[in-house]
A and B are shown apart, each in its own frame.
Chain A
């Protein structure tokens, strides 16, 4: 009876239910994410060893500067000024006082520790979500001390991947043609460096003209074009051993080489009697296969990441345009239909886009289009620029840009530039000399 009464009372009470309010947030700010990169705290015992082995006084700070520069270079992060930091690096790494980091508007915090154990460099770092007051990532590395710059790049890659969801591109190298001397008498050498411009090495002496160097997927080999007895030939160079060889015994000119995604083949153009077609050569058995057979200039081939398709440029329609075909040469389809002429197509490592150089009304553009040719976007325009190459994560392009020579024939220069797919972040890549024909390696730490 009592139960029934209570039930009746409950039924009589009117509950007023409101529908859940939904608010759509469709916009945000495009400002780079504020990140605090605290210097990595050095182990007291190791400080003297840093100086002795590496001739670096404060290794922790140096590594944090590498991370900071990389993050800033990406355009997606804003590393905060270290002067504003309120907490000491060692304590911050142990337990950050999040309120202090919030105060300086940091949304993410990187802390770390560096020490030498048994003549090996041990670096650990942590990534913290300041606003959620929790750890997002914690990793430790052990390596030879001379690798300390790479440690900085690897840390950046890990942080970048955790905060953006895509792989980083900092522990990578660029190979390019280093140029010196006047325009009419340029000395061109193959050069290799870290993506931030450090650790520069020359791979050739500059006796012969070199062009279009390309890495293989393992980054151990390079294929490039060089002139031997005034005949351009495709060469293969082992970076570790320095051994160099000509690719195939072709009776004419070979050029525009590139590796297949599995690194087992080289795809290139071979020209005879004013006609050039695309060929592949198997590096294991040296078997050469003809891919295109058309009375036109077919060149600049580039494989899709799965190796099933090839994009290339051809003037078979009267003007130089971009085409896509199956890797056996069948199903050729033109994909570029815009005004102007298109060249140097490169398939993105993500597989979704093709980068290209476009010449229209006397201006050069670096752009991207989808693999069906739709959605063409021109990222940058200049007097002269070409040869885009993708970063391993398919987000950034590196290319080279030349400046005009003045009336006296001076002022000419060629420099490497990078731009990301948002177009917001265009930067010059630091090189010691003039530079052209860059090619981006895949991640070294893979």
Chain B
């Protein structure tokens, strides 16, 4: 009797164990490990410089336009073959099979939501495009809000060759603050849309101005452009008064040629 009970109990235990341990394996789909995302460390100071505001605006508009025109793919990002890292070089047939397998997995629409953050190296570069970041930090708050929405999406058609250039926020702020102090705006000027003076500078490593050139110098001697001439002269005085300019101690090649846009409209409008 006891023996039967023990055998029965043993069988029941085995059945329970099998049910508990085996059945889930039968139902479970193979574990699909997401591909490893490589992390790229970025020097923020080199990426967050604000480009010339109108330029930033253009970039934002360009992004918006491209966003509108582009058919946003709801598929997962491109394949990541290199993450499959085989120890030995597979035979050609095997390689094709693996690629196919990965493609099948990524066609699963349920996984798109979770995998949307998995981006290719190329797309990642776009996300961290310095111009985009600069546009996000643009002075215009309205533009900022709109841009931050649109740039959440992964874009595939931006300039992939953009290199870190320009001055960092700190460097630019230092330079601006120095020139603000030197520039006596001719207050007698009437408000005019055309009162923007662009001066191209060639600098020495210590910030001394080697050459300054007014880009619209033709306007200087044109009749009826007296106000422009006065503004341009005041800008040149500011540069001369300020030099040596507060430029970064490194990256001379980057800023040896510099363009200053003297815009008195904001001050004169008030």
Q: Please report A residues at the B interface, Cβ cutoff 8 Å.
A: 16, 18-33, 75-76, 107, 129, 131-132, 160-161, 163-166, 350, 352, 395, 422, 424
Contacts and interface: CB of A to CB of B under 8 A. Distances in A.
Given A25-B263, A76-B188, 4 more contacts: A21-B165, A21-B258, A107-B237, A129-B237
Contact of B261 (A24, A160, A163, A165): A24
Contact of B176 (A25, A31, A161): A25
Contact of B253 (A16, A27, A165): A16
A64 B180 CA distance: 31
Given A18-B165, A18-B254, A25 B262 contact: yes
Contact of A30 (B175, B187, B229, B260): B187
Contacts of B235: 25
B90 to A, nearest CB: 36
Main secondary structure of the interface of B (DSSP, over half): helix
B230 A23 contact: no
Nearest to A24: B261
A28 B241 contact: no
B261 A27 contact: no
A31 B238 CA distance: 13
B62 to A, nearest CB: 16
Contacts of B179: 25, 28
A253 B202 CA distance: 71
- From A20, A24, A352, A422, residue with most partner B Cβ within 10 Å: A24
Nearest to B49: A21
Contact of A28 (B185, B229, B259): B185
Contacts, number: 125
B180 A76 contact: no
Given A23-B175, A23-B260, A129-B237, A76 B186 contact: yes
B261 A25 contact: yes
- Which 9 pairs between the two chains have the least Cβ-Cβ distance? A28-B183, A164-B188, A165-B230, A22-B52, A28-B185, A131-B240, A165-B226, A165-B227, A22-B259
Contacts of A352: 190
Given A23-B259, A24-B53, A25-B179, A164 B189 contact: yes
A432 B150 CA distance: 69
Interface string B232-270: 011111101100000000000111011111111111000
Contacts of A422: 187
Nearest to A31: B184
Interface in B205-219: none
Nearest to A393: B188
Contact of B236 (A27, A32, A132): A132
26 contacts: A16-B253, A18-B163, A19-B165, A20-B258, A20-B259, A21-B255, A21-B257, A21-B259, A22-B51, A22-B258, A23-B175, A23-B176, A25-B238, A25-B260, A27-B267, A28-B264, A29-B180, A29-B182, A107-B241, A129-B233, A131-B236, A160-B188, A164-B188, A165-B229, A165-B230, A166-B226
B186 to A, nearest CB: 5
Interface in B145-202: 163, 165-167, 172, 175-176, 179-190, 200
B58 interface: no
A32 B234 CA distance: 12
B70 interface: no
B263 A166 contact: no
B55 A28 contact: no
Contacts of B185: 28-30
Contacts of B226: 161, 165-166
Contact of A165 (B172, B188, B240): B188
A366 B226 CA distance: 29
B180 A22 contact: no
B266 A27 contact: yes
Contacts of B266: 26-27
B191 to A, nearest CB: 10
B9 to A, nearest CB: 79
A150 B262 CA distance: 37
B123 to A, nearest CB: 23
A20 B253 CA distance: 11
Interface in B49-89: 51-53, 55
Contacts of A20: 200, 257-259
A261 B175 CA distance: 49
B260 A33 contact: no
A45 to B, nearest CB: 37
Nearest to A33: B184
B152 to A, nearest CB: 26
A199 B211 CA distance: 50
Contacts of B165: 18-19, 21
A163 B187 contact: no
A165 B186 contact: yes
A91 to B, nearest CB: 23
A124 B241 CA distance: 28
B183 A29 contact: yes
B262 to A, nearest CB: 5
- From A107, A395, A424, residue with most partner B Cβ within 10 Å: A107
Interface in B90-117: none
Contact of B184 (A16, A29, A75): A29
Contacts of A33: 184, 186
Contacts of B228: 165
B184 A107 contact: yes
A318 B72 CA distance: 63
Contacts of B190: 166, 350, 352
Nearest to A160: B188
Contacts of A75: 187
B254 A132 contact: no
A159 to B, nearest CB: 12
A395 B163 CA distance: 49
A19 B166 contact: yes
Contact of B263 (A26, A29, A161): A26
B261 A164 contact: no
Nearest to B181: A29
Contacts of B176: 23-25, 27
B203 to A, nearest CB: 10
A281 B237 CA distance: 52
Nearest to B253: A18
Nearest to B236: A132
B256 to A, nearest CB: 9
A25 B263 CA distance: 6
A102 to B, nearest CB: 9
A347 to B, nearest CB: 16
